[in-house]
Structures are given as C-alpha cells and as structure tokens.
Amino acid sequence: MSTSVVNTGYQNTVAHSMQTAANCIIPEDSSKLSIIDVEKFNLDFALKSLKQDNVVLVENVKPADADRIILSIAEELGLKESLELQAAFASINGFRENVGQYFMSVNKRSDYEFIPPHSEGNSTTNMQIASLYSYENSTDGGESVLMNIDQDGSAWQCLREVAPRIKIGTRPLTQNEIARAKLLFKVDANVDILCDEDEILRKIDTKNLGFELYEVLTKPKLKYSQILRKDVRVYWDSVASCDHDSAQEYLQFLKNSGLLKEPETELPLEKMDNATGRRVWSSGVMFNGLFKSKITRKLVSGDLIIQNNLTWTHSTANWTPGSGGRQVVAAFA
C-alpha cells in the first residue's frame, strides 16, 4: 500500500492568493432564478424550474406557507422522509434549533464572519434540495450568493473530500464488523475502501473493533440527482470546508464583488471564515474553474429559496455588526 500521508497546511496558499485576484470572476445569471409570488405559486412551476436546474424564489411567503411549500416539493420528489429526518436531527446535533416544522436556524456566527460556498452535507448524506427562508435581513450585508457548479470545470482535477476509509487486511470483514462500521462510523465497508490515491490525514480510533479506519483526502465521487435524473459532481461541505483555498477564493470574490464588510483594523481571514478550524490542506482551486454562474440576492422578509443542493452551493456574505438584524433559516431534504 503506497497510500501517502498528506502534507497539510498552507503550502500553496501564498502562491494561490497571488493568482486568485484576477481569476475570481463568476458571471451573474439572473435567468437561472425563477421568481414567483406566493399568491401565484404552483407546484408545477417549482418542479419545472428545478428540473431546468434553476433556483426557485417564492416571494411574500409566511412562515407556515414556507413549511407547506417545502413539504409539497419534497413529497413530489420522494424526499418527504428526508425532510422530516433533517428537521428531527437539527436540534440533536446541538448547532441548530428548529424553527417552524421543517426549517432550522443556521449556524451562529461571530462578527464579520462569512460562510463560503458549499452544498450541505457530504457524499454519504442524501440531501437533494436546500431551502432558505428569510424572516428579516436589515443588516448592511448578509447577501446570499448561490453558485452553480460547472460539471466540466477544471477544478475537479484538484478537489478532494475528507472521508473515512477502511483498510482491507488479510481477511474479509465479518457481517458484525461491517454492521458496526456502518452504524458507528457511517462507513460502507464494501465501498469506502482505502486506495492508493487516498492521502491519509489520521488514523481513527476504532476501539479494537477488528478493522483499521483512516480519515483521508479522497477523490469526490459522483452523486445521483433525483431532480435531474443523472449523476453530478457536488461541492459538498466535506470538499469545500477542508480546503484553505476555498476560503481564499471566497474572500477574494467578496472583495471583487464589493460585498465584503471589514472593520477599521484589518481582520485576518481566519477570523472571518466560518470553517477555519476544519481546513487541513490547500487544493489550488480557482472558483472560475468550479462555478459557471451565480445568483446574488439579499433576501428580504418572506423570501423563500429552493434549489438543487447537489448542483448549487449556498454561501453568505458578512455584514457590519450592529447594522441590523438577520434571521434566515434553512431546510434540507
């Protein structure tokens, strides 16, 4: 086994940040946003838009209607159970609180913090749709930036996902061991197998369960989109949030777009990036090789966004502390 241990840290980041300024331009494409007032909303319009890989924006939605609309879309796509499951798990994980029936609070953030783009979850989760609902955003920023993944982009050569992988030893695993791997570590022992291309980050303590498990950087796999009925590449949180260059790119993007809010005394990137503690390597990713277009929207009270979580990422610009209130909640299915 020639699997290598990755050289973590900022090895490429300085060179990357010098290249990135000129490159981080993603065209705004308002034709990809299907807007409808709640009074005229109908399910066919939403489903047709999603099947064209558009983002749906329903305006003037009341909280109870947001629940009703997301449920009707989830039901139609065979994702009702997933919607209920995500809502049930929201508060168990401790980061979020349930708001209404299916929505949950977004992660708390500190002053000037932004959320770089990602699709919710990782390749073992099956969150096909993402939805945002705005109670208010009276701050001087906090724009939602939705980016459409370029399936043929050059970035896919360099991206990796952080994931657990089992090392196959000299004997096959027993059914009991396979079940424990699944239950305790969410690992499919028949699929998630350590291979030569994987770069090991650390050994995971399996408490003598009979198999060796490693956290690795591995090539992202394709995922089947139930909306588009085809396999797609996904910029999962587990791909985006392990990569220093993702934060660098987003910082540069916000600067170029005039969306970055900064205090008088300059803040380092680590203080503004909400995923800073999870970044372990630098991929060299350039957003213009990853995203083909974007939609920028400062959500107002009653805005409901529904998007394909696999082909569209979500991100949020920062704002000046004390400039207003912002309550945007999310649902996933």
Q: Which stretch binds Fe ion (CB under 5 A): 75-83, 113-121, 165-173, 196-204?
A: 113-121
Least CB distance to Fe ion at residue 314 (A) = 6
Return the number of the residue (156 or 332) whose C-beta is nearest Fe ion: 332
Q: Which stretch binds Fe ion (CB under 5 A): 20-28, 118-126, 194-202, 303-311?
A: 118-126
Contacts of residue 252, Cβ cutoff 8 Å, sequence gap at least 6: 17, 20, 21, 24
# residues contacting Fe ion (CB under 5 A): 1
For Fe ion, the nearest residue by Cβ is: 120
Contact between residue 204 and residue 38 where contact means Cβ atoms under 8 Å apart: no
Least CB distance to Fe ion at residue 22 (A) = 28
- Distance CA(226)–CA(153), nearest Å, equals 22
Q: Which stretch binds Fe ion (CB under 5 A): 22-30, 115-123, 141-149, 209-217?
A: 115-123
Question: From residue 12 to residue 51, what is the string marking binding to Fe ion with x (rule CB under 5 A)?
Answer: ----------------------------------------
Q: Exposed, middle or buried by CB within 10 Å (0-12, 13-18, 19+), for 215?
A: middle
Least CB distance to Fe ion at residue 305 (A) = 12
Q: Residue 186 is which amino acid?
A: K
Q: Which stretch binds Fe ion (CB under 5 A): 13-21, 117-125, 181-189, 207-215?
A: 117-125
Return the number of the residue (106 or 189) whose C-beta is nearest Fe ion: 106
Give the three-state DSSP class for 212.
strand
Return the number of the residue (120 or 198) whose C-beta is nearest Fe ion: 120
Least CB distance to Fe ion at residue 118 (A) = 6
Least CB distance to Fe ion at residue 307 (A) = 12
Q: Which stretch binds Fe ion (CB under 5 A): 47-55, 93-101, 120-128, 174-182?
A: 120-128
Look at residues 315, 330, 306 and name the one whose alpha carbon lies nearest to residue 57. Answer: 306
Number of separate helices (H) and strands (E) present in the chain: 8, 17
> Is the C-alpha dihedral spanning 212, 215, 221, 223 positive or negative?
positive
78 Rama class: left (phi>0) / alpha (psi -120 to 50) / beta: left
- Running DSSP on this structure, what letter comes out for residue 157? G
- Distance CA(13)–CA(253), nearest Å, equals 16
- Running DSSP on this structure, what letter comes out for residue 40? G
Contact between residue 280 and residue 84 where contact means Cβ atoms under 8 Å apart: no
Least CB distance to Fe ion at residue 11 (A) = 27
Return the number of the residue (194 or 304) whose C-beta is nearest Fe ion: 304
Least CB distance to Fe ion at residue 174 (A) = 37
Return the number of the residue (214 or 236) whose C-beta is nearest Fe ion: 236
Return the number of the residue (12 or 274) whose C-beta is nearest Fe ion: 274
Residues that bind Fe ion (CB under 5 A): 120
